[in-house]
Amino acid sequence: MSRVYNFSAGPSMLPESVLKKAASEMLEYETSGQSVMEMSHRSKVFDKIAKDTEALFREVYNVPDNYKVLFLQGGASLQFAAIPLNLLNGSKKADYILSGQFSSKAYKEAQKYGDVKAIASSKEDNFTYVPKITKDDITPDADYVYICFNNTIYGTKFPYIPETGDIPLVADISSCMLSEPLDISKFGLVYGGAQKNVAPAGLTIVVVREDLIGKADEKIPAVMDYKVMADADSMYNTPPCYCIYMCKLVLEWIKNEVGGLEKMKERNEKKAAILYDFLDNSKLFKPVAQKESRSLMNVTFVTDSDEMNAKFVSEAAEAGFVNLKGHRSVGGMRASIYNAMPVEGVEKLVEFMKKFEAENI
């Protein structure tokens, strides 16, 4: 067996020890005589897995007691609609900050349901930075303000948490969930698809302040209604059982092997610094995202020519560094270095890039 260094933006790497543990429990989970994949979600055994996962998520992410943690399906993209359907319940106004493709998609979706405004955008610079907003930019009676905290495609991250006063701040944290400590009390709702940093594809985690729940229009589909899902402990219908179990293993890995989110952050900062330091000094490669908005998770970079980019991506893949091709709207390269990417993976990538640079300059 020879595992590659996988820089995919998502679905992406999972920690090797998590995969091994899942493999060892594949045929029989504990003494249940069955795989987690085969269990009823109403069984005692799975009920414990679900409860333990939530408890661990709350502990590791330091979720305040007045927030619900929901384990849902439909991906982050379903939340683009679920958020306005649940939260546009007062003035039916909402403000969106457009810092990339996912916030733009969320904005477009929300426009179907209310009076939704883009209060800032970095589109004119192809989203190479995160726009700054202040409290004065916000619609005073908005039902919520929406941001995408880490912009997976462009390799940028909010360097600040917008100050929205009493107006709930909603953040898509799909590509930075559990990558570092987050003060959840500054947000009304944070959510993300699990396939970037937390579990295999199929699970979406929503963390929502309790007072924001239960005011949705009655025509909202039941599976999108946070009240229905919260009242049923995320089991109104069949949850993504196996993904929840994998999420539990990842949380145990963060807690017991990494040593918690402060340690996770240190590790992630170290990896990002190795790559950005190299890019800042390279004669061949250039970083794309502006310095103050750089992501710790997704690092975008280019050379001067499309041919050189393609040559690099192909030779890197041959050397065992896969999925480095950038998203089509940015071009060039993107190295996604989520939690599960070991420091050694980034060190070896940079070694390879140095060698490639020496041969091609």
List residues binding ligand PLP (CB under 6 A): 10, 75-77, 102, 148, 152, 172, 174-175, 193, 196
- Residue 194 DSSP class: T
Q: State in angstroms the smallest separation of the CB of 49 from ligand PLP.
A: 22
Q: State in angstroms the smallest separation of the CB of 92 from ligand PLP.
A: 24
| DSSP β-bridge partners for residue 96 | 118, 146
Q: State in angstroms the smallest separation of the CB of 256 from ligand PLP.
A: 27
Q: State in angstroms the smallest separation of the CB of 223 from ligand PLP.
A: 15
Of 75 and 214, CB closest to ligand PLP:
75
Of 122 and 152, CB closest to ligand PLP:
152
Query: Minimal CB distance to ligand PLP: which residue?
Result: 75
Query: What is the torsional sign of CA 16, 17, 22, 28?
Result: positive
Element (H, E) at 356: helix 343-360
Structure tokens at 319: 């050397």
Of 29 and 144, CB closest to ligand PLP:
144
Cα–Cα dist 266/104, whole Å:
31
- Give the CA dihedral 151, 155, 159, 165, nearest 10 degrees: -10
By C-alpha distance, which of 129, 138, 82 is closest to 106?
82
Q: State in angstroms the smallest separation of the CB of 78 from ligand PLP.
A: 7
Burial class (CB in 10 A: 0-12, 13-18, 19+), 66: exposed
Of 268 and 303, CB closest to ligand PLP:
268
Q: State in angstroms the smallest separation of the CB of 328 from ligand PLP.
A: 15
Query: What is the torsional sign of CA 51, 255, 346, 331?
Result: positive
Of 152 and 300, CB closest to ligand PLP:
152
Of 160 and 166, CB closest to ligand PLP:
160
